[in-house]
Amino acid sequence: MFAVRRLNVETAKRAFSSSAANATKVAVLGAAGGIGQPLALTLKQNELISHLSLYDIVNGPGVAADLDHIDIDGKVTGYTPDNDGLKHAITDATIIVIPAGVPRKPGMTRDDLFNTNAGIVRDLANAAAQYAPKAHMAIISNPVNSTVPIVSEIFKKHKVYDPKRIFGVTTLDVVRASRFASQMKGTSTKKEKITVVGGHSGVTIIPLLSQTSSNFTDDELKALTHRIQFGGDEVVKAKAGSGSATLSMSYAAARFVNSLLRALKGESGIIEPAYVRSPLFESKGLEYFASNVELCHDGVGKIHDLGPLNQYEKQLLEAALPELKKNIAKGVDFVHK
């Protein structure tokens, strides 16, 4: 696991000063939950983080106390809503990661989570806009297709909106795609580097399998695409109502945070998928879209286009765009209702 190997941060560490002026605080909001705890554990092992700040409505200080016993340098603090805990948790944060919310249960889609999670994300975004307006926001809470627009609209209301600093974390889609393709073809996951674009739920997830080095039959292509799009359902079903994809999501989120930290420290050439404000389909009325993004010291750098698509992928794109447009509108309308 990349975290145990200390995330291969030697290049970035050479550019990193240990002075207080360069201290890097990462806040996890929802840190006592199914994603939050393993994510916090992984981030504790990241030597680019000097202060790990953990917040949840319950047990934030308990998770922090537990992690603070690990023999890795770095400050760990924990908070609940008491005594302005959220304000203290996020003030001066470089990155705020939001996995807070309820998990999926059997039969639920990400969109079914909207009514509960939208309010949670709205309230956390309001706090971030007030107390950490320059933080980079990494949104995990589903449905990401809608929660990223919610955060953006809240920041616009507070007049602190910077689209380069707001990300929907879609890394799990490429992690799954690599794993599932390697299982199907009997190859190493290192060989299967697959671009996934669109959104972060169901038919909005578009794996660009034609751009890989592996060849797939039509049946394999359809089966693999469906598994990537609905991989979360496998975990929800296997956990039999006790949760959703928490461990794989925390792994993917930690990978994204590490990449963003390295880019913010000045390392170049770092590309991760992310759901961001994008020009790619603005002409079709879509303000947000997931694609490969080159991260930079400001956050979002170059947004890569999709590259050549085969006929099947064009059909997937056509199916995804109207659904994604509805998801975005739902998030925007929630803030302004």
Catalytic residue among 88, 200, 226, 297: 200
CB-CB contact of 74 with 48 (8 Å): no
Q: How far apart are CA 148 and CA 141, in angstroms?
A: 9
| Per-residue exposure over 297-333, b if at least 16 CB sit within 10 Å of its own CB, e if not | eebbbebeebeebeeebeebbeebbebbbebbebbbe
56 is in an annotated binding site: yes
Q: Is 33 labelled a binding residue?
A: yes
Phi and psi torsions of 11, nearest 5°: -60, -45
Q: Is 35 annotated as a binding residue?
A: yes
141 is in an annotated binding site: yes
Annotated binding-site residue? 40: no
117 is in an annotated binding site: yes
210 is in an annotated binding site: no
Active site residue 200: yes
The secondary element (H helix, E strand) that includes residue 53 is strand 51-55
| Tokens linked to 241 | 């109502």
Q: Any binding-site annotation on 89?
A: no
Residue 30, annotated as binding a ligand: yes
101 is in an annotated binding site: no
Annotated binding-site residue? 177:
no
Question: Known binder of ligand: residue 244?
Answer: no
What is 89-125 written as a DSSP string?
HHTT-SEEEE--SPPP-TT--GGGGHHHHHHHHHHHH
Q: Compute the distance between CA of residue 116 and CA of residue 95 in angstroms, rounded to an integer.
A: 24
Nearest to 247 by CA among 29, 6, 40, 28: 40
**Do residues 274 and 197 make contact, with C-beta atoms less than 8 angstroms apart?**
no
- Whether residue 34 is annotated as binding a ligand: the answer is yes
d(Cα 154, Cα 162) in Å, to the nearest integer?
11
Catalytic residue IDs:
200
Annotated binding site for NAD(+): 30-36, 56, 117, 140-142, 249
Annotated binding site: 30-36, 56, 104, 110, 117, 140-142, 176, 249
Q: Which residues are annotated as a binding site for substrate?
A: 104, 110, 142, 176
